[in-house]
Amino acid sequence: MAGPALILRSEVAETFRQIERLFMKRTGKCPKCGSTEILADAKAIDRGDGNWQADFTVATFGKPEALIFKEKHTGTVSAWVCAQCGFTEFYADSPGSLRSPTP
Ligand SMILES: [Zn+2]
């Protein structure tokens, strides 16, 4: 008799494979239209007053409730863009730097 743990493990592996297929960065394939024409690592540009440009960034706050020292962590973001349908995925360039240092 096959152990249920064995079945479970293969189901988990299949679930991971399905999740991986959803990431353009990993697969080089658009999860929306199936195109493999992916523009990788495009730089996301932010625009502000007077049309100034800056790298698009994301920020996290270690202490969002603080008045002044909120422990802001910022990082730049890159984009994976499908050249067929325009679907775009954003990834932080160094996600680890957005984490608050653990005490
Ligand atoms: Zn697409």
User: Any idea where the domains of the chain sit in the sequence?
Assistant: 4-98
Q: Which residues surround ligand 1, an ion (CB under 5 A)?
A: 30, 32-33, 35, 82, 84-85, 87
Average confidence (pLDDT) over 7-16:
81
Contact 58, 75 (CB under 8 A): yes
Kindly report, residue by residue over 51-83, the tens digit of the pLDDT.
888 888 888 999 889 988 889 999 999 999 999
DSSP bridge partners of 72: 61
Ligand 1 centroid to Cα of residue 48, in Å, is: 29
Instruction: Inform me whether the pLDDT recorded for 39 exceeds 80.
Output: yes
Tokens representing 50 are 């007077």
Helix (H, G, I), strand (E, B) or coil at 57: strand
In degrees rounded to 5, what are phi and psi of residue 2?
A: -70, 135
pLDDT at 1: 54
pTM: 0.67
Ligand 1 centroid to Cα of residue 40, in Å, is: 13
Tell me the pLDDT of the chain averaged across its residues.
85
CA distance 77 to 43: 7
Torsion of CA 62, 66, 67, 72, to 10 degrees: 0
